[in-house]
Amino acid sequence: MTIQLRVLIVEDSEQDTILLLRKLKETGYNTIYKRVQNYKDMKSELEQQTWDIVLSDYMLPDFGGLPALELLKISGKDIPFIVVSGQIGEDVAVEAMREGASDYIMKGNLKRLGAAIARELEESENRKQRRKAEKDLAISEAELRMLSHRLIMLQEDERRNLARELHDEIGHTLAYLRLIIDRSSKSPRKVTQSALDEAKQILTNLIEQVRNLSLSLKPPMLEEDGLLQAIKYLIERYSKESAISITLNSSDVPQSIPWDFSLAAYRIVQESITNIIKHSKAIKVSVNINIEKNNMYIKITDNGVGFTTEKLNTGSGLRGMRERAKILGGKLNVESVPGTGTTISAVLPISI
């Protein structure tokens, strides 16, 4: 089998170049080559062309093996460099190897030229693969750090939302309840039934708020009855609270979905519907969940007002959904045009 080889030959003798090319052909190489004799020409070829290997004489009238090797180093290119010379002693050969030459071969004995080239090309490829692996590892570590940072930010967003819910809803309700109790305690004989009824209603509402908040933080149905039942309950609750028509379409969704995927899918649906209720002015929402070919597909569509592209990357809710999908190796896409509604699509790789 013939192997194509791009060779840069540093040589002042045309006859010696012909001998090299002949030997390369004998050992199975189809050679594309360029012969250079000075610093300027070699620099130009290194900059403009791609070479697999450099074969260099050691002594040239205006150039040489060591200057050629130094020029190759300066170029920053990892190309095997073999000294092929008729005037080289052992001490000179050792010096060339110390400076970075891959091998040295005497012009009078080119028998091992093919084997030397094959070895150096293999080692060059191995170095390339190692560098690629190291680069990929560095990228993976950087992505892991970035993902960890985003996960922390996601947790902080959720904590802020929880704090806001506690302060704005439950905090205000408790403050008003305390006001009623304070008024009643100042005039206990004048406490009316209406005041007691009002306090009782406030406590009832407060219990419901705490219950809803608890369900939002950790839905027990998700663990007890599985993803589909938990989402059905979520949709029923949101439909009653918002008066939006929310329908669920699903197929092939077993109860035995791993917890992390169930939770991610639940949160994506929950956050999507929450955003729709708060911002979309929609009257209809469709939730679709199905599993095909080891992927869970989630699609939430509304007929609301939509939003601009700029807002796609600013909301913490959308960021959180994207991060949840990405952590599990999936992806989430949002499509929205003002006036035409919004579609949120997620794909989560899953093995059941």
Count CB atoms within 10 A of the CB of residue 271: 19
User: Residue 34 is inside which H or E element, if any?
Assistant: strand 29-36
Per-residue pLDDT band for 316 (boundaries 50, 70, 90) equals low
For the stretch 267-295, pLDDT in tens is 899 889 988 998 888 999 999 999 888 89
Cβ atoms 288, 250 nearer than 8 A: yes
Give the C-alpha separation, 216 to 234, whole Å: 9
Q: Which residue has the higher pLDDT, 47 or 327?
A: 47
46 closest CA partner among 64, 72, 69, 66 = 72
330 closest CA partner among 260, 228, 276 = 260
**CA 306 → CA 51, 116, 337, 342, distances in Å?**
55, 66, 5, 5
Count CB atoms within 10 A of the CB of residue 101: 23
pLDDT of res. 326? 84
For the stretch 97-140, pLDDT in tens is 888 888 888 888 888 888 888 888 888 888 888 888 777 766 56
pLDDT of res. 215? 61
The domains of the chain are located at 3-111, 138-217, 219-352
- Per DSSP bridges, beta strands 245-251 and 284-292 are parallel
Least-confidence region, from 32-36, 71-75, 155-159: 155-159
Mean of per-residue pLDDT scores for the chain:
82
3 state DSSP class of 249: strand
Amino acid at 262: S
What is the strand order of the sheet 245-251 is part of?
A: 245-251, 284-292, 295-302, 342-349, 331-336
For the stretch 161-196, pLDDT in tens is 666 766 667 777 777 777 777 777 766 666 667 777
Least-confidence region, from 61-70, 85-94, 223-232: 85-94
**CA 155 → CA 149, 164, 231, 259, 316, distances in Å?**
10, 14, 22, 18, 11
Q: Which residue has the higher pLDDT, 198 or 166?
A: 198
pLDDT of res. 209? 72
Q: Which CATH number fits domain 3-111: 3.65.10.10, 2.130.10.10, 3.40.50.2300, 2.30.30.100?
A: 3.40.50.2300
131 closest CA partner among 74, 207, 76 = 76
For the stretch 7-41, pLDDT in tens is 999 998 899 999 999 999 988 888 999 999 999 99
Length of the chain: 352
Sign of the Cα torsion 198, 201, 202, 203 reads positive
274 closest CA partner among 312, 322, 314, 241 = 241
- Highest-scoring range by mean pLDDT, 93-97, 100-104, 300-304, 312-316: 300-304
Q: Please provide the CATH number assigned to the domain covering 219-352.
A: 3.30.565.10
State the helix-helix crossing angle for 193-217 and 113-165, rounded to 10 degrees. Answer: 170
Does the pLDDT at position 309 exceed 60?
A: no
pLDDT above 90 coverage of the chain, percent: 26
Give the C-alpha separation, 245 to 55, whole Å: 76
Per-residue pLDDT band for 321 (boundaries 50, 70, 90) equals confident
Count CB atoms within 10 A of the CB of residue 257: 20
Cβ atoms 199, 180 nearer than 8 A: yes
Cα-only R_g, the chain: 37
Per-residue pLDDT band for 259 (boundaries 50, 70, 90) equals confident
By the 10 Å C-beta count (0-12 exposed, 13-18 middle, 19+ buried), 244 is classed as: buried
Question: Torsions phi, psi of 6, nearest 5?
Answer: -100, 115
Does the pLDDT at position 142 exceed 90?
A: no
Give the C-alpha separation, 315 to 152, whole Å: 16
pLDDT of res. 10? 92
Give the C-alpha separation, 200 to 38, whole Å: 98
Q: Which residue has the higher pLDDT, 73 or 175?
A: 73
